[in-house]
Chains A and B, each alone.
Chain A
Amino acid sequence: MNKISISLNLNGTDRTILVYPNRRVVDLLREDFKLTSVKEGCSEGECGACTVIFNGDAVTTCCMLAGQADQSTIITLEGLAKDGELDLLQQCFLDEGAVQCGYCTPGMILAAKALLLKNQSPTEAQIKLAMSGNLCRCTGYQKIHAAVKSAVVIYKDKMAQGGESID
């Protein structure tokens, strides 16, 4: 098998890499790009731990092959904090105590981020639906919801005061 060249925008930077075409995107991110926030859970697209934002959508990278990442834009958790300042969602997860073992957390935050990039004032039902592909065994989801709802409220306040956009 010959390696193929993949070019993508990863966390705001253009990257090119030679990989085997059967390499999964989760391995590309974790092993080739050392972005270990991307967690592998079930390996079958059920748990959401390996979620990234792929061309604006939350997708599970365990079920994607490297070729699919060519010419794409991918955001992992490492791409959220800017200049050492946490993303609003990350801060809200901390403030609400929404993290226990932490394994689902990167995927949870990115699923919420993908939603907020499209819909800046989601209803409770929309939040739940957007994050329903991400399983958590520790928290009972209560504090995770509280964190996302809190981010929505804070973001609305910031926008009302003429703040920056969510991305």
Chain B
Amino acid sequence: MWYGIGNTGLPNPAAAFVEVLGDATANLMFGAADIGQGSGTTMTQIAAEALGLSYEKVRVTWGDTRVTPDGGATSASRQTLITGNAVLKACEQAKETLAGVAAAYLGCQPEELEFSQNTVTKIDDATVTMTYKTLMAEMKAAGKMAVGAGYYNPTTTTLDPNDMSGIPYEVYSYATTICEVEVDTETGEVDVLKVVSAHDVGQTINQSMAEGQIEGGVVMGQGFVLMEEIEVSEKDGSIKNPIFSKYIIPSNLDVPEIYPILVESEGGPGPFGAKGVGEPALIPIIPAIVAAIEDALNVQFTKLPVFPKDIVAAVKEKEAADKNKNN
């Protein structure tokens, strides 16, 4: 599977603010809403890495429209790429001021310095070094402030309405999902036994969270194939099964063994080369499960979900067809 990251062929920027304070901690602010995928952690990690501060030194405020800049929607697998780059740009701006002051103090050029682990060090001479706290004292003495604002809009073009040509996405995520299923031909029940889901995430920012996204996506996709169907009333358009006793989603007894694999490709426009995995995590398991059922039964399914009754019907139909062929 390959899947575009960000809104399709439309501008969809996001922004971030940062300030490094006198005690060598930073305030980071961005609009991106964390709905459990972990963008708060991801952006904090990106800022810490970019500023050379340890993770604990970065305080984050997100999704508060009184103070944070717009981050656009948490959708389209876009926040790591877009808000991530905005955070990086904001930090680079703050760092430009910091590097100028540090270079003057250490007697070298700003581009010769490395910011890492709450310390500023000359890249080719580790003895030329200062702590971040010393740097912030120098900043104070010089009357300078380490602030940065950044925004990022992925490079896309609108699509030509005649032939849909253009550049809909700046970057794509790639994934392959393999699964093993057991199909009970008598009852039509499908057990998803094992799933291996490999995703090119560009650069992993947080391994545990990226794996969590993939595992969650696999199970949501499993539900989409085997269990979940919104029933709509033909009379008034209302949803007939808006409750969990009628709309069954996978429980922990349904889930397979899941083996997420993170593949790191080089480069790409995202922060440190990172790309989104939110939607890519969900999508490839869907055709993978259907293909596995088809492989087991040698029949084809052309609509979702594939319920036990559909499998029993398909098995019977195939048996009848095979019988006719043999007669």
Contact = CB atoms under 8 A, between A and B. Distances in A.
A142 B214 CA distance: 11
A135 B251 contact: yes
A134 B249 CA distance: 11
Nearest to B248: A46
B305 interface: no
Contacts of A99: 36
B244 A42 contact: yes
A47 B251 CA distance: 9
Interface residues of A, number: 28
Interface in B232-285: 243-245, 249, 251-253, 255, 258
B230 interface: no
A143 B212 contact: yes
Contact of A137 (B37, B216, B243, B255): B216
Interface stretch (B124-132, B176-184, B217-225, B310-318): B217-225
Number of contact residues on B: which range applies?
Answer: 20 to 34
Nearest to A103: B36
Interface in A21-78: 41-42, 44, 46-47
Contact of B212 (A41, A42, A100): A100
Contacts, number: 71
B245 A44 contact: yes
Contact of B36 (A102, A133, A140): A102
Contacts of B255: 140-142
Contacts of B187: none
A135 B215 contact: no
A140 B219 contact: yes
Contacts of A44: 243-245
Contacts of B297: none
A97 B243 contact: no
A96 B245 CA distance: 30
A132 B248 CA distance: 13
A128 interface: yes
Contacts of B208: 96-97, 143
Given A100-B38, A132-B251, A140 B216 contact: yes
A91 interface: no
Contact of B35 (A46, A96, A101): A101
A143 B215 contact: yes
B217 A140 contact: yes
A131 interface: yes
A44 B212 CA distance: 28
A123 interface: no
Contacts of B243: 42, 44, 46
A144 interface: yes
B209 interface: yes
Given A138-B216, A140-B218, 9 more contacts: A96-B208, A138-B212, A139-B216, A140-B215, A140-B216, A140-B217, A141-B215, A142-B212, A142-B215
21 contacts: A46-B243, A46-B244, A97-B208, A97-B212, A99-B36, A100-B212, A100-B216, A129-B253, A135-B249, A136-B252, A137-B216, A137-B220, A137-B249, A138-B36, A139-B215, A140-B215, A140-B219, A141-B215, A142-B212, A143-B208, A143-B211
Interface of A: 41-42, 44, 46-47, 96-97, 99-102, 128-129, 131-145
